[in-house]
Amino acid sequence: MTPPLPKSFRFAATHCGLKSDASKPDLSLIVSDTPAVAAGVYTQNLVHAACVTVNRKLTPGENFRAVVVNSGNANACTGERGLDDTRHMARLAGEAIGAEEKQVLVLSTGIIGVFLPMEKIVTGMEAAAGRLDASEAALVEAARGMMTTDSVHKLAGRTVELSAGTIQITGMAKGAAMIGPNMATMLGVITTDARLDAPTAQQALRSAVDDSFNCISVEGHMSTNDTVLLLANGAACAEPLSGNDLATFQAALDDLCIELAKAIPADGEGATHLVEIEIRGCGSKADARRIAKTIAESALVKTAIAGADPNWGRIVSAAGYAGAAFDPARVDLHLNGTLLYQQGAPVAFDAATVSESIRANRQTDIVLQFGEGEAVARFWTTDLTAEYVRLNADYHT
């Protein structure tokens, strides 16, 4: 189901030749017909792409008109020329829609260390701008244009009733995590016709991303290009959101970001399971998240789930080296609802039944309860399969 569009946004995509398969769009435009506030959250990698460097200086801010996204080339590790190319892309998109360079944000994803073929982008930008449309079909095309090895496009929407009026939040994301032969990049663009001032938009996005896009992992390799943008053009309400309306908006944004974020490990290359890890009863949120992330990134946990093996020792021992303080004698573990480990000691359980529950379900649920406090965290990851290794070890140079 394609979500409805927020007011005064148009979408388009085209194939300009960055991908070899001509049936796959590789250049997307997301345009707000009225100036929008933009917020951004970016990779923490010191080695980051040109577009991250440029966008970071521009957001949060006002008066944005468009986001242009290319797939097939990350424009990362490309030095000064890469920065020039990013700015050139923004200028081209601006010219095509009647806006200035600084009103356009650029996103790139794909191979690292290769310069962008700008002549293809020049041609593609004209074509994309010519197709801009406020239709669900155009929205889907724009979401497809940011895909690399994703098997499905990723869209989510929320329609929210506020005292200020009915607003729409519609987001797209890409990422299939381990992306052979290149590195994964996670990108998200969220559009809304709610009105937000720039600092509020930044805070709302930061908060939503912390519990969603920052809580997913496939192999724990942080990309050079990861970016989530929020564009709020205010077309559906006159005044910036505050008070209860803002809280309602935040809850919808949080929920939408979790839906989009989970779609990334769910589409992980070679993955046969989406794994949801819920940590409860920690002394701090940071501890809970650290434990969740450590379990999510343990190859031993991930291979066990691929093999439908309720190997609780791997899960409990991963928690033990997360760097969070806890009493190992006050830990309970449930896997798909079955208690496997209680107060630091093994529990007799029917391994065949638990194994069958892993095998029969696409999602595996791990719940680890500590006795340290009230803090909780959720994290999503994939299992680790031989197919994933094959996809990423394939010789490509």
Tell me: does residue 342 bind its own copies (CB under 8 A): no
Asked if 355 interacts with its own copies (CB under 8 A), we say yes
Backbone phi and psi for residue 21, each to the nearest 5 degrees, phi listed first? -85, 115
Cα 76 from Cα 78, distance rounded (Å): 5
35 binds its own copies (CB under 8 A): no
State the CB neighbour count (10 A cutoff) for residue 321: 10
Judged by CB under 8 A, which of 70, 78, 86, 369 binds its own copies? 78
C-alpha count within 13 angstroms, C-beta hemisphere, residue 183: 21
Out of 14, 170, 185, 191, the active site residue is 185
What is the rounded radius of gyration, in angstroms, for the C-alpha atoms of the chain?
Answer: 22
CA-based nearest residue to 157, from 128, 194, 129, 131: 194
Residues 303-322 that bind its own copies (CB under 8 A): 303-304, 306-314, 316-321
Integer Cα distance of 302 and 295 in angstroms? 9
CB 344 within 8 A of CB 320: no
Amino acid identity at 299? A
17 binds its own copies (CB under 8 A): no
Cα–Cα distance for residue pair 242/160, rounded to 1 Å: 14
Considering the rule CB under 8 A, would residue 52 count as an interface residue with its own copies? no
Q: Which is nearer to its own copies, 162 or 367 (CB)?
A: 367
* 130 versus 181: smaller Cβ distance to its own copies: 181
Across the chain, the runs of DSSP E, i.e. the strands, are 9-14, 27-42, 61-73, 104-111, 154-162, 165-174, 187-192, 227-232, 274-282, 332-335, 338-342, 345-346, 363-369, 375-382
Binding span for its own copies by CB under 8 A among 10-18, 34-42, 174-182, 281-289: 174-182
At closest approach, how far in Å is the CB of 29 from its own copies?
A: 27
Return the range that interacts with its own copies (CB under 8 A); candidates 18-26, 71-79, 152-160, 228-236. Answer: 71-79
Q: Which amino acid is at 58?
A: L
Asked if residue 286 binds its own copies (CB under 8 A), the reply is no
Q: Which of 224, 227, 336, 382 binds its own copies (CB under 8 A)?
A: 224
Judged by DSSP in three states, 308 sits in coil
64 lies in the site for its own copies, by CB under 8 A: no
Nearest approach, Cβ of 9 to its own copies (angstroms)?
Answer: 32
Choose between 94 and 310: whose C-beta lies nearer to its own copies: 310
What is the contact mask toward its own copies in residues 183 to 222, using x (rule: CB under 8 A)? Answer: xx----------------------------------xxxx
User: Judged by CB, which is closer to its own copies: 56, or 102?
Assistant: 56
Which stretch in 189-197, 204-212, 240-248, 378-386 sits in contact with its own copies by CB under 8 A?
A: 378-386
Contact code string over 92-131 relative to its own copies, x by CB under 8 A: -------------------xxxx-----------------
The one among 238, 348, 352, 360 contacting its own copies by CB under 8 A: 352
Give the shortest CB-109-to-its own copies separation in angstroms. Answer: 13
Site for its own copies in 241-260 (CB under 8 A): none
Which of 118, 127, 140, 300 is the binder for its own copies (CB under 8 A)? 300
Residues facing 393 on adjacent strands? none
207: left (phi over 0), alpha (psi -120 to 50) or beta: alpha
For 15-19, the CB contacts below 8 A with 24+ separation are 15/124, 16/70, 16/120, 16/121, 16/123, 16/124, 16/125, 16/127, 16/128, 17/117, 17/120, 17/124, 18/70, 18/71, 18/72, 18/73, 18/110, 18/117, 18/120, 18/121, 19/71, 19/72
At 324, the amino acid letter reads A
Query: CB atoms < 10 A from the CB of 3, how many?
Result: 18
Q: Cβ 178 to its own copies, closest distance in Å? A: 7
Of the candidates 299, 286, 67, the residue with the CA atom closest to the CA atom of residue 190: 67
Q: Does 31 bind its own copies (CB under 8 A)?
A: no
Q: Per CB under 8 A, does 392 bind its own copies?
A: yes
Give whichever of 62 and 350 is closer to its own copies, judged by the CB atom: 350
Active site residue 185: yes
Structure tokens at 222: 């942080």
> Which residue among 22, 46, 238, 360 contacts its own copies (CB under 8 A)?
46
Q: Which sequence positions are flagged as catalytic?
A: 185
